[in-house]
Structure 1
Amino acid sequence: MRATAVRRTALAASAAALTLLATACGGSSDADGKDGKDGKGAAAGSSSVPKTPAKTLTADELGKAALTQGDVKDTKITPAGPADEVPAAGVKADKEECLPVAHAMYGVAQEGSAASVKRRVIDEPKADGKKKSLEELTEGGAEDALKDAFDLTSTFVALHSYEGATGADAFTALKKAAADCAGGFTVTVAGTPTKVVSVAEEKITGGDESAAWTVTSQDDGEKAPFKLVALRKGNTVATFFAFNLAAVGGGVTFEVPADVVAAQDGKLA
């Protein structure tokens, strides 16, 4: 395998740590309540506070509305567990105004939340039946095969129900934070800092209001893009934080997980 392929393997290995940030370190398990602070939304969608506060879903109701296996084609969907818990106090940002974005990255709820439920949605590997032996793979073919193996998107989904008007407030707070922090900030979790170099608006639709961004981190000069989506439906706010290993260093381009967002939006109807 040539040098570029080896380099991509190393990048993918280092990206595995970022995958934990995006999917495994997202937050608490089902039936969480009032787990701290968070924000929702930024620069891609309207902000319309409901005239009459919507129903506040209980943990059981959120659980029924959360994604389950089979809701999104060609993915594996599992509940987040206790090992995924990251308390709000454990997420820090060097710029206070950026904290709602940092919280959303880890699925942490805004103050005023009543319950939370979280899921992991991971693309299933593509089975095309075209496996080749090492002897059959050219250098370029081996690199392409390696890239394809890592070309899987993993999305951490967090659903939070809120009391009163705090759901709409949480969404608005995230939108403002994303706009204010477009130039970047540093988020620290469990003593490990991650440099975010940009927060750029993306397009998304759904819910009563929705917004999306590409959040780009950088480590040793190598950039890794993440997709962050916020969707409010009534008094429930859902956040989606997605990552693709093969996208590290510009290897591939991956999109906002619109199919995951749409499936969750439908179940919140």
Structure 2
Amino acid sequence: MRFSVMRMKARATLVALVPALLFAAVGCSSTDAPATGRSPDPKGSEGSAGGAPGAPAEPPDPAGSAPPKTGGTKLDRSALTQGDLPGYQISAQGKNPGAPDGQPQADKKACQPLADIMGDKPDPAARETVNRGIGSQKQMGLAVSASVSSYAESDAKALIARLKTAVAACGTGFSATVDKQTGSYREVRTADYRTSGDESVSWTTTAAGQGVSAQVHLVVVREGDTVVRLMALNVAGGPQKVLVPQEVTDKQLEKVRKAG
């Protein structure tokens, strides 16, 4: 019991270090392997019922993962929805009310683009952003935040250029604060990652705070005037390396193109 409480606190700290990942961590990921023949609990270990063996399952939590809406604007149609990716749960549920809001502020000016990208939207120039949380049912604990943002095309190009410059300048790391919560991001490294977009940038870093740390992988892709931001983190914590699954990136870009 004590271990479970400690794990839950560590998980909450990790996702708080990367605010946008709260879309993925709330209601989508699980750190427990499912029993044979059973699907993972879509709400993760915190949502597991403690009833007696053989007791009927509790009804779904009405406050649980909300299915993404379809239709709507071009950006809405571009966003991933449940069923797009077999083996993953996709949620449009909003952030935890206790989660930090806004754009993180870096302690180094050169690293501000890297802090911005982990906020509620990729950067202040985004006109509109639609967020999704993705929980892997293949790799327990893997949470991916996926966002699609509309820009003026010149601003989208400038964002990619700023991110490439910042990744090169911030290899030793930086700290960022949002809503009075501060995290450090060490060992910022360019990652070799293939995408089919017009241009992209990818990097890894180690997020740390309050005695816990985890690897984070980020991919930002420009497709015309649309920017796709993908962030992956293992909410179980620890030194495990993570990557945004290639199938997630490919499907997200496919939907952006189909939305026109």
Q: TM-score, normalised by structure 2?
A: 0.70
| Counterparts of 2:113 and 2:221, CA distance in 1 | 14
Q: Which runs of 5+ in 1 are unaligned?
A: 27-58, 127-147
Q: How far off is 1:15 after superposition?
A: 3.0
The 5 A counterparts of 1:168-179 are: 168-179=157-168
Q: Which amino acid aligns with 1:183?
A: T
**Change in CA separation of 1:235 and 1:21 when aligned onto 2, cut-off 3 Å:** same
Note if 1:163 corresponds to 2:161: no
Note if 1:76 corresponds to 2:89: yes
Which one of the candidate residues 109, 116, 139 is aligned to 1:103? 116
Say if 1:86 and 1:108, in contact at 8 Å, map to a contact too: no
Q: Secondary structure at the match of 1:166?
A: helix
RMSD over aligned CA atoms reads 2.7
The 5 A counterparts of 1:107-256 are: 107-124=120-137, 151-206=140-195, 207-219=197-209, 222-246=212-236, 248-250=237-239, 252-256=240-244
Say if 1:25 and 1:85, in contact at 8 Å, map to a contact too: no
Q: Which amino acid aligns with 1:230?
A: V
Q: Which amino acid aligns with 1:158?
A: S
Q: Name the counterpart of 1:265.
A: 253
Q: Which runs of 5+ in 2 are unaligned?
A: 25-71
Say if 1:107 and 1:158, in contact at 8 Å, map to a contact too: no
Note if 1:24 corresponds to 2:14: no
Aligned residues: 205
Q: How far off is 1:196 after superposition?
A: 1.0
**Change in CA separation of 1:164 and 1:232 when aligned onto 2, cut-off 3 Å:** closer
| Counterparts of 2:12 and 2:122, CA distance in 1 | 25
Between Structure 1 and Structure 2, the one with more helix by share is 1
Q: Which amino acid aligns with 1:179?
A: A
Q: Which amino acid aligns with 1:234?
A: G
Per-residue deviation, residues 205-234 of structure 1 (Å, max 9, x unmatched): 221112211111233665311111101111
| Counterparts of 1:254 and 1:204, CA distance in 2 | 12
| Counterparts of 2:190 and 2:133, CA distance in 1 | 23
% same residue: 29
Say if 1:186 and 1:195, in contact at 8 Å, map to a contact too: yes
| Counterparts of 2:124 and 2:179, CA distance in 1 | 21
Q: Which amino acid aligns with 2:152?
A: E
Say if 2:10 and 2:212, in contact at 8 Å, map to a contact too: no
Per-residue deviation, residues 137-158 of structure 1 (Å, max 9, x unmatched): xxxxxxxxxxx8xx32111112
Say if 1:102 and 1:187, in contact at 8 Å, map to a contact too: yes
Per-residue deviation, residues 142-186 of structure 1 (Å, max 9, x unmatched): xxxxxx8xx321111121111141111111111111211111000
Say if 1:199 and 1:215, in contact at 8 Å, map to a contact too: yes
Q: Secondary structure at the match of 2:177?
A: strand
- The answer to which structure, 1 or 2, has the higher relative contact order (CA under 8 A, 6+ apart) is 1
Say if 1:12 and 1:245, in contact at 8 Å, map to a contact too: no
| Counterparts of 2:132 and 2:13, CA distance in 1 | 19
Q: Which amino acid aligns with 1:98?
A: C
| Counterparts of 2:93 and 2:213, CA distance in 1 | 27
Q: Secondary structure at the match of 1:229?
A: strand
**Change in CA separation of 1:80 and 1:21 when aligned onto 2, cut-off 3 Å:** farther
